[in-house]
Chain A
Amino acid sequence: MTESALESRVEQAAVRRRQAASLIILYGILLAVATVLMGTFMFALLASLKRDPLEQPFRLAFEQIHPANWVVAWRLGRQGSGDAFWGGFGPSGDVTFELTYAAPADVELVEPAIEVPRRRPGTGMAAAVYRDFAADHIVDWTIEHAALEPFEVEVDGVVTPWQRATWTIRFRHDNEGPRIERVPLTAEAPLSQTLVDATLPPTRIERRGRVASWENITPGSLGYVFNNYRRVIKESVDLNTGNSLFVSWFKNSFFIAAGRVILTLVFATMAGYALARLRFPGNRALFMLLLVSMMIPVQVTFISNYLVIRDINLLNTPWAVIMVTIVSAQVLIMKQFFQSIPKEIEEAALMDGAGYWTTFYRIVLPMSRPALVTVTIMAFQGAWNDFFWPLVLINSPASAFTLPVGLLSLRNAYGGAGDWSLILAGAFMSTVPVLIMFMLFQRYIVDNPIASGSKE
C-alpha cells in the first residue's frame, strides 16, 4: 500500500492533532528566531548601560536597572542641582550621602577618610578640555557618625557579635562656581571594616577592598541609567571649539540624508516616469545601464568619483556625499509603480492639451503617494546608514564626519582598551532616527521586496 493510501486511513482526530502540533512547532521556530534576534539586541542594549559591558559573567540584573537606585539617584540629583533627571552639583547644592561600615565587635570602627578627587571623566578627548572640578566648589563637608549598632553574624553555627555604624556626609556648594556635572567620591577605611551599605552602590572597589569609589554621587535618575549615553555626547568633543562631535555627526547625517532624499525624489520620479511612459531614443539602453549599475560594487567607481569631487572643491563637505549616489534602485521602483497605474487619465490630460510636465506634476505625482513614501524611506535609510561614501569623501575635520564614520573614529580612539560602554551607547544612539522611522512607516519598508533587497 502506498504512503498516501495509508495516510487516508488515519483517523480524523489524529489529523487534527497533527495539524495543531505543526502549528505549535511553527510558532516555536518563529519565536526562537525572534528571540535570538531580539535577545542579541536586548543584551547589547543592557550592556550599553553598564560601566563595563565586558564583565564576566554577564549579569542581567545590575545597579543601573535597579529601581531603588533610580529613586536614590533622583533624590541625589535634586539635592545637588535641583535637576532630578540629569543631576549635577550647582549653587545651593546640598547633598547628603551615607556610608555604613561593619566590623567584628572587638575591632574599633574608625571614620572613613573621605575625598572628592580631582578626577577627569573618562579617557576621551573631553579629559583635555575638562575645567571644573567638584572639589574646588565644595565649601565644607561635614561627616557625622550615628550610634554604633550591634548585630550578630552566624557562620557554621558559630555566632559572632558584630557592630555597624553609619556616617552621614553632607556636601554644600559654594554658591558661586558653575554647575558641575559630576561629583566623584572615594572613601577609604582600614581592611578590618567592611562597607556594607551606601546610598548608592560604589562604582568600583579598589586596593583590595579598602577604597570604595563613586564616579558620581549626584547623578539624577536619567544620568544614572544613561550615564554612557551622556558620556558619548559630552566626551567626544572638538578640541578647537569644545563642541560635541557626536552632535555635529548627528547634524551632518541629517543634512546629508535630507539632501539625498530630495535629490532622489527628483531624479527617481522624473527618470522613472520617462522610462515607464515616454518613448525617447536610448530608452532601452538607459534601462540596461541602470540594471548594470545596480550590480557593480561602489568600490569599482569610487576613485574617479573622488577625483571629480576633488576637482570641483567639494571634498569634506556634505554636498559631495549627497551628489555621488546613483539612485538606480529607486528609479526602478518608480518605473514599476508608474507602469502599474492606468494610463487613461494621463492620456486624457494630454489630449486636453496639458503638457508632459503639467500632466506629470499635477496628475501623476499626486497619485503616487505610496511609492513616494517608499522611495523617501529608502533614500533616508540608505543615506543615514551609508558608510562608504562618507568615509571616502570626508576625511577631516572630525566635526565633518557622519555618524557611521564618527562611530569608526570612536572605535579607533578607544581601540586597544576598548571603551565598550561608549561605543555601544554611541551605536544605539545612532540608530534612533531609523528606529523611529521604522516604527512609523514599517508597512512601507516590510512590504517592499526591492527596498529590502537593496540594503547595503
Chain B
Amino acid sequence: MNQSMLRQERTAGLMFALPFCVSLFVFFVYALVRTVLFSFQTYDLFSTPEWVGVANYIALLTDPLFALALKHSLAFAVVVTTLQTGLALLLALAANQKIKGRGAFRTIFYFPSILSSAAMTLIFLWLFQRQGLINQGLGWLSAHGGLIVTGGLLFFALQTLQFLWKRRKYTWMRWGDPFNGLVSFAVTVVVMVIMAGYGIGVRALEQPVAITWLNTREVWGPLPRTIWAIVAMNIFTTVPTLMLLYLAGLQSIPESLYEAARIEGASRWQQLRHVTWPRLMPVSFTVVTLGIIGTLQMFDQVALLGDAAPLESKVTLAYFTYHNAFPPGGSPRIGMASAAALVLATLTLILVLIQRAVGVSETTND
C-alpha cells in the first residue's frame, strides 16, 4: 500500500469518526474536565465562579447528608449486586437443562427490563403503599405462617424418610434426588391443601399488616426501609434477565468436562466448584460489572419517589449530586455537586477495578 492510500485512509477514518468524536468531546471530555474545575470552585449557575481550593471536599466530608448518601450508594451497590448475581446463578443452576419453549420464557423474562424505569417505579410504589399488595401479601403469609412451616417440615421429613428407606434396602439415592423430591413435594402440597381446607395452621389476623415502606425514617441494617423497597424492585427487574445470561453460560460448558470429573470421582459440589464456577467466570464478570455500574447510578427510582419519602431515607450519591445542583427552592451549589459527582465516578472506577482484579485471580487459580 502506498503513501497516498495510507493518507486517504487516515483522512477517511478521521472524517468518519468526527461526528461521534465531537459529541464525545463536548458532552463527555469537556464536561468531565469542567466538573473537576467546578469541584474547586463555588458557583450557583449564574454568578461568576470563585476558586476555593478543596473547600468543597472538606464541606462534603462534614456534610452528614453526604455521608448518608455515600453509605446508601455503597450498601445499595453491594446488596443489589450480590443478591441479583446470587439469585440469578442459583435459579440458572436449578434450571440448567436443555429445554423446549425457552424462547417463550426468554420473552417473558425480558419483559420488565424493556419498560421505562418511570413506569416500573410507579407500579412498585403502588405495590409498596400502606394498603398495597406487598402488605396484603405479608398479611396472607403471616396468617398462613403455621401452615407454611408445617409444610416445609413435612417436606424434609418425607424426603428423609424416603432416603432412609432406600438406604435400608441398599438402593442408592441422594438425599436431593429430584424424583423423590417431586414425590415429597406433591404429598406435601396435598396435605397442605387439606389442612387449609380444615383451617389448620391458619389464623385470623387482628388487623391488616400496614408497614409504611416509603414515607419512613426507619433503617433496617445498612439501608433505610425506603431503599429496601427499591432493592426489591431492582432485583425483580434484573434477576430474570441475568438468569438467562447464566443459563446460556452454563449450557456452553461441554458435558465431557463433567464426565471427566465424575470419572475422577468428583462430588457434585466439587464439580460445581472446579468445573462450573471457573467456566462461568466471564459471565459473572459481565453480570457483576453491569451490576456495579448500574446500581451506583441508580437515580430514577429515587427521583420518582417524589415527596413520598424524606430525603434522608432515599438519598444516594447520584441523587445527592442532582439535589445540590438543582435544590428545590434553594440556590444551586455546583461546587458541592461536582465534588460529589467526582466521588461517584471514582467509586465506580475503583469498584470495577477491584472486581476485575478479584475476577482475574479467580480464573488463574484454577
Say whether A associates with B: yes
List residues of A whose CB falls within 8 A of some B CB: 2-7, 9-10, 14, 17-18, 20-27, 29-30, 33-34, 36-38, 40-41, 43-44, 47, 53-58, 266-268, 270-271, 273-275, 278-281, 283, 286, 289-290, 293-308, 323-328, 331, 355-357, 360, 381, 384-385, 387-388, 391-392, 403-405, 407-408, 411-412, 415-416, 418, 420, 423-424, 426-428, 430-431, 434-435, 438, 442, 445-446, 449, 452-453, 455-456
Residues of B within 8 A of A435 (CB): 114
- Given A6-B172, A302-B325, A356-B9, answer yes or no on A37-B109 (Cβ-Cβ < 8 Å): yes
In the complex, what residues of B have CB within 8 A of residue A18's CB? 177-179
CB-contact partner of A427 in B28, B99, B118, B342, under 8 A: B118
From residue B192, how far is it (CB to closest CB) to chain A in Å?
A: 16
Closest residue of A by beta carbon distance from B18: A270
Q: Which of B146-154, B217-225, B345-353 lies at the binding interface?
A: B345-353
Query: Does B91 contact A33, Cβ atoms closer than 8 Å?
Result: yes
B160 contacts A by Cβ under 8 Å: no
A sample of 11 cross-chain residue pairs with beta-carbon separation below 8 angstroms, ordered by A number, consists of A2-B265, A25-B181, A30-B95, A33-B109, A41-B111, A279-B10, A303-B38, A326-B27, A407-B118, A430-B119, A452-B113
Q: Are A38 and B111 in contact (CB under 8 A)?
A: yes
Q: Is B122 an interface residue (CB 8 A)?
A: yes
Contact partners of A5 in chain B: CB under 8 A: 265
A29 & B91 in contact (Cβ 8 Å cutoff): yes
A387:B118 contact, CB within 8 angstroms: yes
Does A304 contact B30, Cβ atoms closer than 8 Å? yes
Complex contact B10–A415 (CB within 8 A): no
In the assembled complex, which residues on chain A have CB atoms less than 8 Å from the CB atom of B19? 266-267, 270-271
Contact B126 A53 (CB under 8 A): yes
Q: Are A24 and B182 in contact (CB under 8 A)?
A: yes
Closest Cβ–Cβ distance, residue A169 to chain B (whole Å): 35
List the B residue with the shortest CB-CB distance to A410: B122
Residues from chain A with a CB closer than 8 A to the CB of B206 are none
Chain B 1-15 against A: per-residue CB contact (8 Å), 1 yes, 0 no? 000001011111110
Interface membership of chain B positions 40-64, coded 1 if the CB is closer than 8 angstroms to chain A and 0 otherwise: 0000010000000000000000000
How many residue pairs link A and B with beta carbons under 8 A? The number is: 313
Q: Which residue of B lies closest to A360 (CB)?
A: B16
Expressed in whole angstroms, the minimum distance between the Cβ of B292 and any Cβ of chain A is: 9
Say whether A40 contacts B236, CB under 8 Å. yes
Q: Give me 8 other A-B pairs in contact (C-beta within 8 A), A55-B131, A331-B20, A428-B119 excluded.
A: A33-B239, A44-B127, A271-B21, A303-B338, A304-B34, A412-B307, A423-B126, A434-B116
Q: Which of A34, A53, A434, A452 touches B115 (beta carbons < 8 Å)?
A: A434
**Contact size range, B:** 35 or more
Give every chain A residue within 8 A of B95 (Cβ-Cβ). Answer: 26, 29-30
Inter-chain contact A279/B13, CB cutoff 8 Å: yes
Cα(A298)–Cα(B129), bound, Å: 30
In the assembled complex, the Cα of A279 lies from the Cα of B1 at a distance in Å of: 13
Closest A residue by C-beta to B122: A427
Report if A280-B10 is in contact (Cβ < 8 Å); known contacts: A408-B118, A427-B122.
Answer: yes
Chain B residue contacts of A324, Cβ below 8 A = 27
- Contact indicator per residue, chain B 322-345, by CB within 8 Å of chain A (1) or not (0): 100110000000100110011011
Chain A nearest CB from B316 CB (Å) reads: 10
A47 B303 Cβ-Cβ under 8 A: no
Contact (Cβ within 8 A) A424 B126: yes
Q: Which of A25, A385, A418 meets B116, CB within 8 Å?
A: A385
Kindly state whether residue B32 has any CB partner on chain A within 8 Å: yes
A301 touches B27 (CB 8 A): yes
**A26 in contact with B94 (CB, 8 Å):** yes
Closest to A47 in B: B126
Pairwise interchain contact A404-B118, C-beta atoms closer than 8 A: yes
- Chain A hits for B348, CB < 8 A: 295-297
Q: How far is the CA of A217 from the CA of B245 in the complex (A)?
A: 52
- For A359, give the chain B residue with the smallest CB separation: B12
> B262 an interface residue at 8 Å Cβ cutoff?
yes
Minimal beta-carbon separation of B191 from chain A (angstroms): 18
> If the complex has contacts A274-B16, A299-B297, are A41 and B123 also in contact, measured as CB distance less than 8 A?
yes
Interface contact B172-A10, CB-CB below 8 Å: yes
A96 to B148, alpha carbons, bound, how many Å? 53
* A275 to B127 CA separation, bound complex (whole angstroms): 46
For chain B residues 215-257, which have a beta carbon within 8 Å of chain A?
Answer: 236, 239-241, 243, 245
Closest to B322 in A: A299
Taken together as a complex, chains A and B put the C-alpha atoms of A305 and B23 apart, in Å, by: 11
B residues 261-305 near A (Cβ < 8 Å) are 262-263, 265, 267, 286, 290, 293-294, 296-297, 299-300, 303-304
A residues less than 8 Å from B12 (CB atoms): 274, 278, 280, 355-357
CA distance A152 to B124 in the complex (A): 49
Which one of B31, B113, B293 lies within 8 Å of A295 (CB-CB)?
Answer: B293
Q: Are A271 and B297 in contact (CB under 8 A)?
A: no
Cross-chain contact A296 with B110 (CB below 8 angstroms): no
Known: A26-B95, A30-B95. A301 touches B118 (CB 8 A): no
Q: Chain A residues near B164 (CB, 8 Å)?
A: none
- Assembled-state Cα–Cα distance A25/B344 (Å): 43
Q: Which A residues lie within 8 Å of B11 (CB)?
A: 280
Quick check: which of B100-108, B195-203, B358-366 contacts chain A, the rest being far away?
Answer: B100-108
Nearest first, the 8 A-B pairs at minimum CB distance are: A280-B13, A278-B13, A271-B20, A404-B118, A385-B116, A301-B31, A274-B16, A356-B12
Complexed CA–CA distance, A59 and B13 (Å): 63
Q: Considering the chains assembled together, what is the distance between the CA atoms of A124 and B219 in angstroms?
A: 35
Q: Select which of B114, B243, B306, B318 is within 8 A of A297 by beta carbon.
A: B318
- Nearest residue in A to B19 (C-beta to C-beta)? A267
A302-B106 Cα distance, complex, nearest whole Å = 35
- Flag if A54 contacts B116 (CB, 8 Å): no
- Chain A residues near B306: list those with CB within 8 A: 408, 411-412, 415
CA distance A328 to B45 in the complex (A): 28
Chain A residues contacting B326 (CB-CB under 8 Å) are 392
A305 touches B31 (CB 8 A): yes
Query: How far apart sit A23 and B182, CA to CA, in the bound complex (Å)?
Result: 11
Answer yes or no: B35 CB below 8 A from chain A CBs. Answer: yes
- Distance in angstroms from B236 CB to nearest chain A CB is 7
Contact between B182 and A274, CB atoms less than 8 A apart: no
Inter-chain contact B122/A424, CB cutoff 8 Å: yes
Q: Which residues of the other chain, B, contact A14 by a CB distance below 8 angstroms?
A: 179
A289, B29: Cβ atoms closer than 8 Å: yes
Give B80-99 interface residues, CB cut-off 8 Å to A: 91, 94-97, 99
Q: Is the CB of B20 within 8 A of A267?
A: yes
- Considering the complex, give the chain A residue whose CB is closest to the CB of B307: A415
